[in-house]
Amino acid sequence: MNKRIGAALSAALTALALTACSDDQAAEEQNTAEQATPAESTPTTEASESAASETAANATLAGSGDIQLENGTVRAKTEPDAAMTSVFGTLHNTTAEDITITGFTTSLGEAHYELHETVDGVMRPVDSGFVVPAGGTLELAPGGHHLMIMDYQPTIEAGGTVDITLETADAKRIEIPGVAVRTMIPGHEDYGDHAGHDHAGHDHEGH
């Protein structure tokens, strides 16, 4: 009888030991899995960072002075009868002071150049100039601020480049070379009286 009781106790103790080992092993496996989870998400994070870096790398900055133009675009003009086109992009002020742009000219030669904004769908000149904040940016975009090239009859073909010279309130001239000419969908701005505008008396005519 004593032998049977001893054998039963021994079997029970062995079962308890095996159960404890099994529980410890399960806990260890769960802990290992939890530790592995962040590592599995790392590729996604790295992919996002890589995509952001690639986007930044694809951005182009023209110019090396106080003002630079990011992703600058001169809208292509293929019809000689269309005497107007625009310049878009993002102006970057690399200085610690605001810069007011009062005008511009281009390597296209004889044309009329104006700074424009679009208010309630109607384009109008901005005589006070564009202010690019210190260390900041100013976006030039369809339906907003943009540089307007007017009274220019020749075509401007996509694939070429145009050099732009910005004029500032303190009489500086800032060169922005090699701005790409690209085909863009025409905007829906109302040009109002500017389509047949008489530009006499404006300083930039003929530049």
Over residues 113-124, the mean pLDDT reads 93
Which is more confidently placed, 106 or 8?
Answer: 106
Helix (H) or strand (E) holding 21: helix 2-58
CATH number of the domain enclosing 102: 2.60.40.1890
Per-residue tokens: 150: 């007017």
Is 170 within the bounds of a domain? yes
Task: With a cut of 70, say whether residue 4 has pLDDT above it.
Answer: no
Residue with token string 């307007």:
148
Tell me the residue range of the domain where 99 lies.
61-182
Confidence band (pLDDT; 50, 70, 90) for 47? low
Q: Where is average pLDDT lowest: 19-23, 48-52, 54-58, 189-193? A: 189-193
Exposure of 121 by Cβ count < 10 A (0-12 exposed, 13-18 middle, 19+ buried)? exposed
Give tens-digit pLDDT for 123-158.
999 999 999 999 999 999 999 999 999 999 999 999
- With respect to residue 77, please indicate whether it lies within any of the assigned structural domains: yes
pTM: 0.64
Measured CA to CA, the distance from residue 164 to residue 104 in angstroms comes to: 7
29 assigned to some structural domain: no
Residue 201 inside a domain? The answer is no
Give the total number of structural domains in the chain: 1
Q: Among 98, 168, 178, which Cα is nearest to 133's?
A: 98
Is the predicted pLDDT of residue 70 greater than 80, yes or no? Answer: yes
- Indicate whether 158 belongs to any domain: yes
| Mean pLDDT along residues 112-128 | 93
Give domain status of residue 152, yes or no.
yes
